[in-house]
Chains A and B, each alone.
Chain A
Amino acid sequence: GNSVTQMEGPVTLSEEAFLTINCTYTATGYPSLFWYVQYPGEGLQLLLKATKADDKGSNKGFEATYRKETTSFHLEKGSVQVSDSAVYFCALLRSGNTGKLIFGQGTTLQVKP
Chain B
Amino acid sequence: EAGVAQSPRYKIIEKRQSVAFWCNPISGHATLYWYQQILGQGPKLLIQFQNNGVVDDSQLPKDRFSAERLKGVDSTLKIQPAKLEDSAVYLCASSGTGSGYTFGSGTRLTVV
Contact = CB atoms under 8 A, between A and B. Distances in A.
Contacts of A4: 42
A106 B41 contact: yes
Interface residues of A, number: 18
Nearest to A99: B48
Interface in B10-40: 31, 33, 35, 40
Given A101-B45, A106-B42, A42 B105 contact: yes
Interface residues of B, number: 25
B42 A49 contact: no
Given A97-B97, A97-B99, A98-B31, A44 B40 contact: no
A35 interface: no
B100 to A, nearest CB: 5
B101 A101 contact: yes
A43 B105 contact: yes
B42 A100 contact: no
A45 B103 CA distance: 7
A41 to B, nearest CB: 9
Interface of B: 31, 33, 35, 40-45, 48, 50, 56, 91, 93, 95-101, 103-106
